[in-house]
């Protein structure tokens, strides 16, 4: 298993390097000078040129990448052009809010998808299964930003039940339990929007996996032995269906984080999604590169975690010599 994980880790490093080269080239080949906003418009041309040379703006692109890579390997992704703070500090400041929102959305999605997925698998071809399938297609067909706007219109503007933006009520000064409740109230709508897409993905995979297992050859002998349907489902089907479920859960980690870009922007949730949107709009190259590389790393770690958990859940992979 150690050799298997070492091989996967080496592949991940190579992929991460390739991503960094491609993203760096795409970002820095955009026309215009993003550093121009750092200087006062009345700055003399000779001073402006001197500053650009010190920043390495006129260096060849490969040299700029080598310099960036050398700093990035030490955890230094430079300074944000617009905000003036270290990129690593800005990401660390916002990542907790995004992870918190993503975890809440994922927990809700799993809690709903598992029972509904197994119920749909058991009732395949029945009216209830058809209704759940139609609901899934309906959720997928509605863009996340449109659903978010509906929630804002209904619950923030019309009913005035929930706050429309931010993570806390500005100027309220809540402490203790009131502060926690305030954060939860701000999180309800963005968590629902982020959860819906994940729910559909989990639900479809669970239904498909459990449905295939229910029609597998080992199920009929279990019923023939007199085991009731509940015991067969929870003791045998659920255990075997957990393997693809674990895989999709790990692979959905980057999907949740990337989906937070639109959700956080609409609800002004101060996380990585809103930070990346502002970085793209303001052409803040160092900040944008840092965020993209962080998301790429999370994606690769999610894939690696899926491989590790799969070998733990299914010992046959290790015994077959693949791990």
pLDDT tens digits for 4-25? 778 878 888 898 899 999 988 8
Distances (CA, A) of 199 to 65, 196, 240: 40, 5, 20
CA distance 76 to 177: 37
Q: According to the model, what pLDDT value does residue 229 have?
A: 65
Q: According to the model, what pLDDT value does residue 190 have?
A: 92
pLDDT at 135 over 60: yes
pLDDT at 234 over 90: no
The tokens for 83 are: 């905000």
Q: According to the model, what pLDDT value does residue 231 have?
A: 67
Q: Which of 159, 171, 167 is nearest to 191 (CA)?
A: 167
CA distance 269 to 261: 10
Q: According to the model, what pLDDT value does residue 151 have?
A: 92
pLDDT digit string, tens, across residues 273-306? 888 888 888 888 889 889 888 888 888 887 788 7
Q: According to the model, what pLDDT value does residue 1 have?
A: 64
Distances (CA, A) of 301 to 87, 254, 258, 297: 21, 9, 15, 6
Q: According to the model, what pLDDT value does residue 140 have?
A: 82
Q: According to the model, what pLDDT value does residue 283 have?
A: 82
pLDDT > 90 in the chain, percent: 7
Q: Which CATH superfamily is domain 87-143+194-319 in?
A: MetI-like (1.10.3720.10)
* This prediction's pTM: 0.79
- Cβ–Cβ < 8 Å for 198, 252: yes
Phi, psi of 79 (to 5 degrees): -115, 145
Q: According to the model, what pLDDT value does residue 318 have?
A: 54
Q: What is the mean pLDDT of the chain?
A: 81
Q: According to the model, what pLDDT value does residue 219 have?
A: 67
Q: According to the model, what pLDDT value does residue 155 have?
A: 92
pLDDT digit string, tens, across residues 58-85? 788 898 899 888 888 888 888 888 888 8
Q: According to the model, what pLDDT value does residue 313 have?
A: 64
Q: According to the model, what pLDDT value does residue 315 have?
A: 61
pLDDT digit string, tens, across residues 168-217? 888 777 888 888 898 899 999 999 998 887 888 888 888 887 777 777 66
Q: According to the model, what pLDDT value does residue 154 have?
A: 92
3-state secondary structure the chain: CHHHHHHHHHHHHHHHHHHHHHHHHHHHCCCCCHHHHHCCCCCCHHHHHHHHHHHCCCCCHHHHHHHHHHHHCCCCCCECCCCCCEHHHHHHHHHHHHHHHHHHHHHHHHHHHHHHHHHHHHCCCCHHHHHHHHHHHHHHHCCHHHHHHHHHHHHHHHCCCCCCCCCCCCCCCCCCHHHHHHHHHHHHHHHHHHHHHHHHHHHHHHHHHHHHHHCCCCHHHHHHCCCCHHHHHHHHHHHHHHHHHHHHHHHCHHHHHHHHHHHHHHHCCCCHHHHHHHHHHCCCHHHHHHHHHHHHHHHHHHHHHHHHHHHHHCHHHHHCCCC
pLDDT at 320 over 80: no
Q: According to the model, what pLDDT value does residue 233 have?
A: 67
Query: CA-based Rg of the chain, rounded to a whole angstrom?
Result: 24
pLDDT at 165 over 70: yes
- Cβ–Cβ < 8 Å for 93, 290: no
Q: According to the model, what pLDDT value does residue 49 have?
A: 80
The tokens for 89 are: 């500090």
- 222 pLDDT tier (thresholds 50, 70, 90): low
pLDDT at 146 over 80: yes
Domain ranges in the chain are 87-143+194-319
């Amino acid at each position: 298993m150690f050799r298997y994980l070492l091989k996967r880790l080496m592949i991940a490093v190579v992929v991460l390097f390739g991503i960094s080269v491609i993203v760096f080239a795409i970002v820095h080949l955009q026309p215009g000078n993003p550093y121009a906003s750092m200087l006062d418009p009345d700055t003399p041309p000779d001073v402006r040129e001197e500053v650009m040379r010190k920043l390495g703006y006129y260096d060849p692109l490969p040299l700029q990448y080598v310099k960036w890579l050398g700093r990035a390997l030490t955890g230094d992704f430079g300074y944000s052009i617009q905000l003036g703070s270290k990129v690593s500090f800005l990401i660390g400041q916002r990542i907790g809010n995004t992870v918190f929102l993503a975890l809440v959305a994922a927990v809700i999605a799993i809690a709903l998808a598992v029972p509904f997925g197994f119920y749909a698998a058991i009732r395949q071809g029945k009216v209830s299964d058809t209704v759940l399938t139609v609901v899934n297609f309906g959720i997928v067909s509605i863009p996340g930003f449109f659903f978010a706007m509906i929630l804002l219109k209904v619950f923030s503007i019309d009913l005035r039940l929930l706050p429309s933006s931010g993570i806390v009520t500005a100027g309220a000064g809540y402490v203790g339990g009131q502060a926690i409740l305030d954060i939860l109230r701000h999180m309800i709508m963005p968590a629902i929007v982020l959860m819906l897409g994940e729910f559909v993905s989990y639900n479809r995979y669970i239904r498909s996996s459990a449905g295939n297992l229910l029609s597998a050859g080992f199920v009929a002998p279990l019923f023939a032995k007199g085991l009731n349907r509940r015991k067969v489902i929870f003791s045998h089907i659920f255990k075997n269906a957990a393997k693809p479920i674990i895989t999709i859960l790990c692979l959905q980690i980057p999907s949740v984080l990337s989906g937070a870009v639109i959700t956080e922007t609409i609800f002004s949730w101060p996380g990585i999604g809103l930070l990346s949107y502002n970085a793209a709009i303001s052409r803040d190259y160092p900040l944008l590169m840092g965020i993209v590389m962080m998301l790429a790393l999370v994606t690769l770690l999610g894939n690696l975690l899926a491989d590790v958990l799969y070998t733990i859940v299914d010992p046959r992979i290790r015994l077959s010599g693949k791990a």
